[in-house]
A and B are shown apart, each in its own frame.
Chain A
């Protein structure tokens, strides 16, 4: 018994050490990014590195805004990511619901075809998509950024898996109560899926927020740039504006953190609890 306890203690110690190391691996670069954003360029590269924030944040921000109109890019990114997330949530949950709860011809084949598109990397799609958008006259528009991944295969897959957990009896009960199929979807299925939708919202928002190569190709004028595209302008052939990049990067993660805090309330487990007596 004591031997077992000792083993447990050792195991716990190792586990926590591992977790702590991983946390540091994640957090130290973030911390360094924030510190670096407050240092003038001259102190940024000195050795040993400065570990505490300096006072040059607003100076750096002013320089950044002067060079690339950063605030405009933030606005663009927010518009694109929000519209994309809402649209994609709707499409993915509708598709997921259909794949999970309806029977139709070639259902499995269609589903696996959608899933198979996941193996195509964005790099492969950029050129054909650009040509398509150019033909439709949509280059340098937000629409061209939002639409191609609106029906997101990961989102459809995720929603299908989660929608499968909704008991059929619940939907049938609504059908008996006189709900139309669309009412069943948005009044019964969607509310029970709140935590999945919140998780998917973060995935989708993050996907769009980080998208770089495709917007770089599609967006032509600086007033349309998203944050990643705008940030790329700071890396010139002659000089890399590390201080400004760090300021922009520090600010760019704020909406993500905000989104997470807002949605975290929705991650309540057991939303379906109590609907069925097992």
Chain B
């Protein structure tokens, strides 16, 4: 199979795990097209089907229905070794009895006709690229977590595959190393320009790394798009809730005419009632950064905890029996137990259908206005 021509097309993918007594649907009706050279992040909570999808692409799981093609080639029934893909596992899965050099060269030794000198040369150049040249003679157990991670990457890179698959490769590193490796991985991917599918449960990682992000839940793809789009214009309440840290504030409100009435005496007069026509209840979403602390307002909340982050403060508050979070300027530091007034722009408001969870109104409806308010702030 030729390298560097591979987009991935997944059509109607379904994966069912059958056991004696029951069948569990892990992924259903998945359709997604990944462009050549793209960095796509699959993100979602545990059990959402993201790893299963990755394993189907890798060929480690049989597909129950649907097809997967790389470029023009249908790989649905091909063995993993015939797909020209390389995978980095969450726990690295280094061969414990082999040295770093043997670990990296193992795939080349098995799947190519290269001489051992040629393999050595390739292994050495990859090791140099990853800064692990001096570790080539060591066994995995002598390495630190970060070094093991690099060896696992090296093992994938050395084969020059047309697709990289990464299954939460950074989740076992400590926070500092994780953000370093995050940048390094992105640079590496850009340099190599290899189509990459990256699985993570960490939405920050997804937002930071992906050209596009695919959010999954319960085996079903919720939304695919560039990170900013997903953040501003989520298709439903789940995506809005999952993407963003701290999470969006969500509560149910009754609609009386053009007024939203929520918990703790919350009320808001809508200028534009089009999104909520013919319904009497709605789910309201407001991002923590869209709250501003003001005096004299009809909406107020009681501060329970203040977390100073240095460049900003997180205010954890209760609105009636509901917990909400605001992300404010570090100069604003109310006392715990104090009641503060909260205000927000209607452009920042998200509204979701209370039954289906689908978006009725999102931020992107009013991008220009929102941007200008940000500038004014």
The chain A residues found within 8 Å of chain B, CB to CB, are 167, 169-170, 172-179, 183, 188, 191-192, 194, 270-278
Contact = CB atoms under 8 A, between A and B. Distances in A.
B63 interface: no
19 contacts: A167-B93, A170-B93, A170-B96, A173-B93, A175-B80, A176-B87, A176-B107, A177-B107, A177-B155, A177-B159, A178-B107, A179-B106, A270-B141, A273-B96, A274-B143, A275-B92, A276-B91, A277-B148, A278-B172
B95 A188 contact: yes
A172 B89 contact: yes
B106 A176 contact: no
A271 B80 CA distance: 27
Contacts of A175: 60, 79-81
A276 B85 CA distance: 21
B139 interface: yes
Contacts of B149: 277
A176 B111 CA distance: 10
A174 B87 CA distance: 10
Contacts of B60: 172, 175-176
Nearest to A275: B96
B221 to A, nearest CB: 24
A271 B142 CA distance: 12
A172 B159 CA distance: 16
Given A276-B92, A277-B172, A271 B97 contact: yes
B86 interface: yes
Nearest to A172: B60
Interface size class of B (residues with CB under 8 A): 20 to 34
Specify which of A173, A179, A270, A271 lies most central, judged by the most chain B CB atoms within 10 Å of its CB.
A173
Contacts of A177: 81, 106-107, 110-111, 155, 159
B106 A174 contact: yes
Contacts, number: 87
Nearest to B55: A172
Interface of B: 58, 60, 79-81, 85-87, 89-97, 106-107, 110-111, 139-143, 145, 148-149, 155, 159, 172
Given A177-B107, A274-B141, A170 B95 contact: yes
A173 B81 contact: no
Nearest to A175: B80
Contacts of B145: 277
Contact of A274 (B58, B139, B155): B139
B208 to A, nearest CB: 22
B96 A179 contact: no
Contacts of B93: 167, 169-170, 172-173, 275-276
Given A176-B80, A177-B81, A167 B97 contact: no
A237 B247 CA distance: 91
Contacts of A174: 95, 106
Q: Which 8 A-B pairs have the closest CB atoms?
A: A274-B141, A178-B111, A177-B107, A275-B96, A178-B81, A274-B140, A169-B93, A173-B93
Given A174-B95, A276-B94, 11 more contacts: A167-B93, A173-B95, A174-B106, A175-B60, A176-B58, A177-B106, A177-B110, A177-B111, A178-B110, A274-B94, A275-B93
Contacts of A176: 58, 60, 80-81, 85-87, 107
Nearest to B91: A276
Nearest to B110: A178
Contacts of B155: 173, 177
A106 to B, nearest CB: 12
A272 B149 CA distance: 17
Contacts of B143: 274
Nearest to A166: B96
Contacts of A170: 93, 95-96
Contact of B140 (A178, A179, A275): A275
A188 B109 CA distance: 14
Contacts of A173: 87, 89, 93-95, 155
A277 B95 CA distance: 12
Nearest to A188: B95
B81 A277 contact: no
Nearest to B172: A277
Contacts of A271: 96-97
B204 to A, nearest CB: 21
A192 B97 contact: yes
Nearest to A272: B96
A166 to B, nearest CB: 10
A16 to B, nearest CB: 34
A278 B141 CA distance: 12
Contacts of A167: 91, 93
A68 B23 CA distance: 67
